[in-house]
Each structure stands twice: as C-alpha cells, then as structure tokens.
A = this chain, B = another copy of it.
Amino acid sequence: MSHNTFGHLFRVTTWGESHGPALGCVVDGCPPGIRFTLAEIQAWMDKRKPGQSRFVTQRREDDIVKVLSGVMLDADGETMISTGTPISMLIENTDQRSKDYGEIARRYRPGHADYTYDVKYGIRDYRGGGRSSARETAARVAAGALARKVVPSLNVRAALIQIGKHKIDRANWDWDQVGQNPFFCPDAAMVPVWEEYLDDIRKAGSSIGAVVEVIAEGVPAGLGAPVYGKLDQDIASLLMSINAVKGVEIGDGFGVAELSGEEDADEMRMGNDGKPIFLSNHAGGILGGISTGEAVVARFAIKPTSSILTEQRSIDVDGNNVEVRTKGRHDPCVGIRAVPIGEAMVACAIADHYLRDRAQTGRNL
C-alpha cells in the first residue's frame, strides 16, 4: 500500500507541495530501452503549465523537468534510453509568490481540503494548498509522457467538451482545433462562446465546472484483467484522483441508464482484413474490464475551483465562525488545465495494463 503511488507495474510515486523547493515523481518498472528526449516530455508539460492564457491561473512556472536517474544518454547526447531502473524526475517550484498565509493558515476555505487535512493529520502545509495543490499534477504529466512511450501503438488525446451549461456540438469535433484555442476545445464554434462566458466569470471572481473527454486510440485488445484489475476500474480510479474531479464515465457512461440492451450492445462483424470489427463503441473500448481494440473513451467532470472572491461562511482552526474570501491568482475554470492531466492518467493506466498483460499472457503486443 502506498498513499502516493499509482500503478502496479508501471508504478508512479509522486511527492512535493505547492510551495516547497520542488516536486517530482519516481517511475518504477519502466521497461529498459525506452527512448525519449527531454523536449518530448517538456512538450506535454507545456500543455499543462499555468499562466498560458487569461483563463487559467497567472502563476508562472516553467515546469522544467530534470531526469535524475534511470537513463543513459545515447550517442546523440540528447536521446535518453531507460535502463530498467527507477526514473526520478524533478520539477522546481520557482514562482512561490511571497505572501502572508496567516489567514489561510487558520481559516478553512469551503470546498478546499483545508479542513479535512487538518482533521486527519493535525498539521497541514497551508502554503498554496500544500500537497492538495494542482501543482502535484505536473509530476503526473511527466510520468504520462513516459507512459505514452511504453505502448508503441498508443495515441491518447483529450479535449474539453463542456463548460457550465455550454456543451460542444460533437458533430463539429475536430482534433486539429484542440491545439488552437486556450480551452483544448474541439469545436471551433464553441470557442467564442466559452471566451465570453469565462471572461464574465473571471471578472466576477467566480468559477465554473467542466467536463473533459479522453480518447485513447491504438490500445491493443486484451488489456485489463477480471475482476479487480479491470482497465476501466483503474482509469476511473486515476481520473477520480485528479483534484476536483467528481464523476467518471466510460463509453456511454451514465447514458447507459436510458439504453435498451439492443441499443447498448456493440455488434461485431469480421472485417475485410480478417480482423473483428465492432459496429459501434457504446462500451468505450472496454468489455468485462478488458480492452476490445476499439478506442478507449473516458470522461470526467471537474468541479469549479472553490477559490473565489465571494465571501463565504466557514470556521477557523480554533472553532470560530469566520468569513473567508480567497484573494489572488485563481483559475476561473480548472477544467481547462485538467485536459493534459486526464490524458496522462489514461496513458499511465494503459501502460500499466500493457505490462500486466505481458506478465500474465507472455505475449508482447
């Protein structure tokens, strides 16, 4: 058991707080011979890092990853090759805005983990949220960058599909759009709507929830294991572990409640190339906890950040009734930056099951 580790064979341990000197992760179990460059990792880090638009927190962090162990440099002096030993990655905290934490140190912000950390541990690193800060997710994205390399065929992408009541039109889905707007939005028509909507929320010092969809293509059929090593189970666990996530779906998700057996089941046929084809993908690429070979589809809902300008009722550490208002930098919609994090979590889950499958079946997909 480990409170700060996930995965069984592709095993990631993260550490670090928002305002300590650094944060990082140790990836254990990475196969030897995996080749990657720092630039490749950094590209994923850059998707997540703060301060990239007016719609996310204005904290400035470069999120430069240092690889401290587990690799040998190739002759090109740039490509790293994993050796099979643990890969330790470190990211320094640089923009720890100096300020007086006196108020937050003693008052529990509603919707935050302040109260629960204190009630559990009797001590809490209140600086910037400490361990409960979304800074921790930087380490996840670094690990996810390696996970993508472990499964050769894997392509994990995600997009924001809902902010508040504004949902994208799936008919407009265009992956190329995702990299061209500050929301990771696949629907070009929705971008201006969200811009205006979020500007209002941002100016009001408020915040709003969102939904992210992750789609993993190139997942070999056969990953996952009955009945407590199901692929969807581990994806659900990891997506739910992301800060502020309150719901997770696979495939048709909660929509299945309204489907009949005829509507829900994905029929099959043999393809012209002699491979099985699913005629639909209500299952989101997973049946009985095992991947079908179709795209793995997962969605998760992120609540609005509780750091808002509106004064709220709360208590302090001494048990007094107090009012709390969160000043300073904040994310009007934390769901935006959750997009690369969701990708990383799904990539890690799939990489883990890819290795688990090798162990139990002896094949190497």
Contacts and interface: CB of A to CB of B under 8 A. Distances in A.
Interface stretch (A38-46, A48-56, A187-195, A233-241): A233-241
Nearest to A288: B113
Contacts of A82: 123
Most buried by B among A221, A227, A270: A227
Interface string A230-251: 1011101111110100111111
A213 B291 CA distance: 27
Given A115-B276, A258-B165, A360-B31, A268 B208 contact: no
Q: Quick one: copies of this chain in the complex?
A: 4
Interface residues of A, number: 155
A154 interface: no
Contacts of A307: 261
A98 interface: no
3 smallest beta-carbon distances between A and B, as pairs: A113-B288, A111-B265, A116-B290
A300 to B, nearest CB: 9
Contacts of A144: none
B264 A306 contact: yes
Of A17, A20, A32, A236, most buried by chain B (CB within 10 Å of CB) is A236
Interface stretch (A57-65, A129-137, A176-184): A129-137
Given A6-B228, A201-B260, A233-B237, 20 more contacts: A2-B229, A4-B86, A5-B13, A16-B69, A22-B68, A83-B121, A83-B124, A84-B361, A110-B265, A112-B287, A113-B226, A115-B276, A120-B357, A209-B258, A228-B241, A230-B241, A246-B250, A260-B304, A268-B313, A359-B359
A349 B165 CA distance: 33
B32 A122 contact: yes
A240 to B, nearest CB: 4
A217 interface: no
Contacts of A315: 268-270, 276
A225 interface: yes
A29 B287 CA distance: 20
